[in-house]
Structure 1
């Protein structure tokens, strides 16, 4: 856990992989270039967000399959796949395939719950069963069992010239240990009890706490996760915030970044919605100043690794500048050393 003066062990970033509806290939190729660049710059990990019926990556596993062929070292993660739109058996097949292609570098992050705007498309997703679907954590358990090789079929043997297995194929040993779960306090406790990894983000809820301070709540969630983990020595926590270093940015880019953060600042002042969602402010500025703010952040102090969230709506030159400064300026200011 990084304290002031102690080096940050792992640095990564996550992206939505946005694209133009009229030219989606270009946007996906841009994401692949960003992943290649991340490996060249020494990042430890890169994570893809998941967006359905939007102009962001809807199939992160497919994109990471392509990325696995363009990289050799960097960890490849999803943050997160909403399991409400997935069949855990089929997803396990895809995840295991990509993990084998990447030589054990896949880090699947998942979440559960009713999918966003479910009523708008539920009859297309589950025509006959949309009112009966189970969106609970049972879906995660099913996925973990499938990845661990628990039987899913009553039959194993040969029929004619075809061989059949009782468990999901291919099987990738160790993949289940690299599953991450994202969520608030109760999710953090549950993830610890399951012995899986815990993803935090730039959003928390006030459920289960008297605090209204984002950093305090994020720290409390991480503490709860560690306190309930079945094997704390192997517990992994990734902290996520929007952090935009401006060291090599042009004056125009700096104004753009500051305007972006200012437009989103009001939502950070009070909890939002029935669950009391609290958003973290975006961090914008020179790396030495950002490092001081992170050292003082209670959530950052408790995380073992960091995945910086890239803003949704910027252009490729902006992302190149931000990622370059993360690796070349902010990371070293936090004591981090590039991999490789």
Structure 2
């Protein structure tokens, strides 16, 4: 397929001793993305780490420094969230963006749950529901379904029975970030958009062919979705163009990719399979992607930026993506 929409994903690292410069760098990267014509910018959620812990707050700030680029989360783990409160935050930021927000979510217990359960859910930790139902609750609230049994006036205060503000269309822009075939099929049946990334959870019989497994999951998702082949899927691999990189940058990027390659040769942790990072000139990357079975199924991507690079590296990578790689894939920058 010809690439129709080009986005990027970042984690927004910062120095814990001086976090402000890292957050400012992140906002500048999003501004640069808009200037270069990217269709979307996405933030990854990182709790109790030195990366963005509150993407919604960052995107609220970014909404006031941009006017066109879509803004998303990839993904917000709902195990950390109350769907009702999150719905209020998402709707508020969507209003601030003028309808540009794309919330990406996932489910399951919070990472390192045993370590944070008493702080996060001191009274309900053993009975919290971390299933798909948590996503459906969020979507229902975003659609404007009832959140309270009371609506009316008490004293001088007026109360609504649904989340305020209500942002029409936001529920249709919810994405589910799935790694397994089960998640892909479930997201399709529920009519959600689907984010597939550089990590998958294969079935026992799938083997280690990442691209083929990703292709199968995308096809299963669309087969289950009411819109079929028109259902939206975004692929997110780590892709590093080197067209304008300095010799020092090329050496650093190559070392980074090489250091992460061993984890792609066997399943990691709870049966997870990682994709090799892609690096090279835009012409080389375009050729590699055209041969990638997963990429062949999509017409929109959110390429992930390496998480440990410097601001100047992100400027170079994003500029090459927009000016060289995107056009090599048939994409045209937004105006």
- For residue 303 of structure 1, report the CA deviation from its aligned partner: 1.3
Please give the alpha-carbon distance, in whole angstroms, between the structure 1 residues aligned to 2:221 and 2:28: 35
Q: Structure 1: state its 5+ residue gaps.
A: none
Q: Structure 2: state its 5+ residue gaps.
A: none
SS of aligned partner of 1:215: helix
SS of aligned partner of 2:330: coil
2:309 equivalent to 1:314: yes
2:171 alignment counterpart: 176
Cα pair 1:185 1:208 within 8 Å, conserved: no
2:117 equivalent to 1:122: yes
2:148 alignment counterpart: 153
- For residue 304 of structure 1, report the CA deviation from its aligned partner: 2.4
2:298 alignment counterpart: 303
The aligned runs of 1:146-295 (5 Å cut-off) are: 146-183=141-178, 184-207=180-203, 209-232=205-228, 234-274=230-270, 276-295=271-290
Please give the alpha-carbon distance, in whole angstroms, between the structure 2 residues aligned to 1:164 and 1:32: 35
The aligned runs of 1:6-85 (5 Å cut-off) are: 7-85=2-80
Query: Normalised by the size of structure 1, how large is the TM-score?
Result: 0.97
CA deviation digits over 1:183-214, x for unaligned, max 9? 12111101100101000010011126523200
RMSD: 0.9
Cα pair 2:223 2:229 within 8 Å, conserved: no
SS of aligned partner of 1:73: coil
How many residue pairs get aligned? The number is 334
SS of aligned partner of 2:188: helix
- For residue 232 of structure 1, report the CA deviation from its aligned partner: 2.3
Please give the alpha-carbon distance, in whole angstroms, between the structure 2 residues aligned to 1:119 and 1:95: 28
Query: Normalised by the size of structure 2, how large is the TM-score?
Result: 0.98
Please give the alpha-carbon distance, in whole angstroms, between the structure 2 residues aligned to 1:331 and 1:44: 11
Cα pair 1:99 1:105 within 8 Å, conserved: yes
Please give the alpha-carbon distance, in whole angstroms, between the structure 2 residues aligned to 1:105 and 1:231: 22
2:106 equivalent to 1:111: yes
Cα pair 2:245 2:316 within 8 Å, conserved: yes
- For residue 231 of structure 1, report the CA deviation from its aligned partner: 2.1
Q: 1:106 to 1:255 in 2, by over 3 A?
A: same
